[in-house]
Structure 1
Amino acid sequence: MTRIESIRARTIPLKADYRNATVSFAGMTASVVAILARGNDGAFETGYGFGSIGRYAQTEMIRERFAPRILGADPSAYNRDGFPDPLLLNRLMRRDEKQGGHGERSVAIGAIDMAAWDLYAKLEQKPLFLSLADRFNGGRFDSSVAVYAAGGYYYDEGERVRLRRELEGYLERGFRSVKIKIGGASLEKDLQRIEIAIATAGSPGFVAVDANGRFGGEEALEWSRALEDLNLRWYEEPVDPLDFEAYKQLGSAYGPPLATGENLFSLQEVKNLIRYGGLRPDRDILQMDPGLAYGVSEYLDILHALETGGWSRRSCFPHGGNLFNLHLAQGLQIGGTEVYPGVFAPLGGFGESVEIVDGRASAPEVPGIGWETKPDLMDCCKPL
């Protein structure tokens, strides 16, 4: 039986001198986590994880609230076949937590959960995608995953030239599809930015746009009328993520795909979205991120609810832009995943060991997630 000896967390800054329509990332932080475990033979193994990007650090919550629940438990409460089971660890962390008000706790638990899955796959001596496939998907997995490069933020200087160069760099790395921000400038200026993206990518079908919930209902409809004839890959989070009535109105008025879900942090919120948000299973994209939403166990429940509700798991493209979600997409055979190849270092991107070929990628075939293939991230984890 394996015993978890320590769970350590620290806050790191992200390298982010840019903004979207609603948030400047200049002061953004995140929590990195290490779980140290010792087996019966006395050998130690460590799993690493972090809270997904965009919600600041939850370090004190991890240290004071959730790690003690695991460390105070008997190893028999969380071991399965001799290994710490992330599903059981997740249950321990959520013990005595009230329903609703998911907020920051879902991110704190998601960070520990990510580290727990890294540890689990390392102990199994498998890449994480294979551990997930074997346990939850009948051993089936995709040989490669559809990925798109997310970027196109607003910069203070050299906006258009910098945007074009950024997107050209993504295409040179092997990406086909890109995503840029809208809503942080006038409609006229953002349409010019979209034109740059289309010209660079070669087709509007290779360009998605993301408003980060910037608009109210009427303004979102106004923008939808300007975007509709462009036939973009998708129009993402035009309104507040919990404004289901506005999504319903947009779904009735806007023909091309909509995308949302990254800021829904629980199964119940996703159920409400598909019940009341008017989204269309034949075209719309769902972007729930386990690193923000309690981890893999909640994500599995979300996939079940979606499929029960008439959705395909291929409609899912998680937010987060990291290596963990590449494993998730490959092992659970969902639609694909976002990548941050040029932003949000050291958490974003897949690292140099993952090659992008014609817009597709495969997770590294090393035990665990493969964080050790990202030296900049491991430098942040060393103090743990």
Structure 2
Amino acid sequence: MKIKNITTFLLKVPLGDQRFYSSQCAFPERNSLLVRIETDTGICGWGESGQYGPGEPVATFIETVLKPRLIGKNPLDINVLWEDMFTGIRDFGRKTTGIEAMSGIDIALWDIAGKFYDKPVYELLGGAFRKKVLGYATGCYYRGEDVLDYKKSLQNLKDEASGYIDAGFTALKIKVGLLHVKEEMERIAAIREAVGNDIILMVDANHAYNFHTAKRIGKFLEEMNVHFFEEPVVPENIHGYKTLRETLNLAIAAGENEFTRFGYLELLKNECLDIIQPNIGCAGGFTEAKRIEALASAYHVQVIPHCWGSGIALAAALQYCATIAPSPHTAFECAPENSPMIEYDKNVNPLRDSLLTETFNVNDGFVQIPDGPGLGVEINMSVLKKHLTKT
């Protein structure tokens, strides 16, 4: 079996008045860069990359740099191909765009392997510790015509948070970092009041704070019984992460903006984090994500992957979650203390909810892991074509 062709598909869905903000930027659209690898036997695999910034640079990197290296190669030689790609771009692509491009290709290669062997990816990666994973709703962004008028939106914020709990989720991650700290505290308190004390609550700043501000709001998060504080400071602030972890009585999480095991090694050896969050579509695909997990286990740090993008990204993250060992082992695993959770972005996203021929099943807060061959999902090509902006 040989790789016959590699094609990228840039998808965009404008959100109109449903656009939202994190601390860093507006989201006026949902976008995704899908990767399809075709073989000479007719088996095709799908992957996803380019999930954070514009997809165009990643698509160009795949087309002009990686594709020529892969055409004619055996798609089942996944580790060999990963090393060939990485060493080929080491001088200019060890981070960001180059690794994102590799990630989408790696996911597609594992999808091909699963279809070839008629097994889900999790079986090829060594088996499943679980067939379902606790999902946490990600929501409570900044919405409305004036996102800075937080008082006007407080009731809507409480209703939104309560709606996720009514839908069956028992864990919720909310956004902070766009407003003054005292205003953010009011938002957080309102959400905690709305969902009650039994709900697992997590807070994500998207690296909005300097150290002393992160410490200030972190002390308040302790009072609010928050499970983890995600990306409190910028990814480069290694000392800040380490000191916050030593200072605050809650878990510090980060890693979505890191790439390959070499990047995660710096976070781990400097004792920066309680939880690392590799994104399969950015950190190096399944191949590298398993290496990152092994590295984390040596430092006794929990892995809870980050997930953002289309249904392909979610399917890949679910396959990965199946394979993550409890950390540490107990007779009955208990999420989130020692087993992974899956991030379930609850913003409007047709690229997750309509793009696949299958739907993701969420029951009692748990998301079922697809058990079909490969990623266990297939693309609805008519929906893909509807949202396609570039091939």
Alignment partner of 1:129 out of 122, 126, 131:
122
Query: In the alignment, which residue of structure 2 is the partner of 1:106?
Result: 99
Pairwise CA distance, 1:272: 0.9
Kept in 2: contact 1:31–1:51 (CA 8 A): yes
Alignment partner of 2:135 out of 147, 150, 171:
147
Compared CA separation, residues 287 and 204, structure 1 to 2 (3 A): farther
Structure 2: runs of 5+ lacking an equivalent: 146-151, 309-313, 326-338
Using the alignment, how far apart are the partners of 2:158 and 2:23 within structure 1? Answer: 19
Q: Secondary structure at the match of 1:264?
A: coil
Q: Secondary structure at the match of 2:217?
A: helix
Query: In the alignment, which residue of structure 2 is the partner of 1:320?
Result: 307
Structure 1: runs of 5+ lacking an equivalent: none
Query: In the alignment, which residue of structure 2 is the partner of 1:267?
Result: 261
Kept in 1: contact 2:185–2:217 (CA 8 A): no
Letter in 1 for 2:70: I
Using the alignment, how far apart are the partners of 1:376 and 1:199 within structure 2? Answer: 43
Are 1:254 and 2:252 matched, yes or no? Answer: no
Kept in 2: contact 1:288–1:318 (CA 8 A): yes
Q: Secondary structure at the match of 1:233?
A: strand
Kept in 1: contact 2:22–2:141 (CA 8 A): yes
Percent of residue pairs identical:
25
Using the alignment, how far apart are the partners of 2:201 and 2:355 within structure 1? Answer: 21
Query: In the alignment, which residue of structure 2 is the partner of 1:9?
Result: 8
Using the alignment, how far apart are the partners of 2:280 and 2:136 within structure 1? Answer: 18
Using the alignment, how far apart are the partners of 2:292 and 2:87 within structure 1? Answer: 20
Query: In the alignment, which residue of structure 2 is the partner of 1:25?
Result: 27
Query: In the alignment, which residue of structure 1 is the partner of 2:331?
Result: none
Using the alignment, how far apart are the partners of 1:86 and 1:169 within structure 2? Answer: 42
Pairwise CA distance, 1:319: 0.7
What does the per-residue CA deviation read over 1:160-188, in whole Å, with 9 as the maximum and x for residues that have no partner? 34433433333233211011100111222
What does the per-residue CA deviation read over 1:69-128, in whole Å, with 9 as the maximum and x for residues that have no partner? 101xx43xx35xxxx233233223223222674121111111111222222111221222
Using the alignment, how far apart are the partners of 1:286 and 1:38 within structure 2? Answer: 38
Pairwise CA distance, 1:63: 0.6
Kept in 2: contact 1:211–1:236 (CA 8 A): yes
Kept in 1: contact 2:9–2:389 (CA 8 A): no
Using the alignment, how far apart are the partners of 1:332 and 1:124 within structure 2? Answer: 22
Aligned pairs (5 A) from 1:231-242: 231-242=225-236
Pairwise CA distance, 1:336: 2.4
Query: In the alignment, which residue of structure 2 is the partner of 1:289?
Result: 279
Kept in 1: contact 2:10–2:32 (CA 8 A): yes
Using the alignment, how far apart are the partners of 2:388 and 2:21 within structure 1? Answer: 26
Kept in 2: contact 1:286–1:316 (CA 8 A): yes
> Which TM-score applies when normalising by structure 1?
0.85
Are 1:115 and 2:93 matched, yes or no? Answer: no
Pairwise CA distance, 1:198: 1.7
Deviates more, 1:158-167 or 1:27-36: 158-167
Compared CA separation, residues 159 and 377, structure 1 to 2 (3 A): farther
What does the per-residue CA deviation read over 1:199-234, in whole Å, with 9 as the maximum and x for residues that have no partner? 333226511110000111111112112222112121
Task: Supply the RMSD in Å over aligned alpha carbons.
Answer: 2.7
Using the alignment, how far apart are the partners of 2:165 and 2:84 within structure 1? Answer: 44
Compared CA separation, residues 190 and 377, structure 1 to 2 (3 A): farther
Q: Secondary structure at the match of 1:146?
A: strand
Deviates more, 1:301-310 or 1:61-70: 301-310
Query: In the alignment, which residue of structure 2 is the partner of 1:367?
Result: 373
Pairwise CA distance, 1:151: 1.8
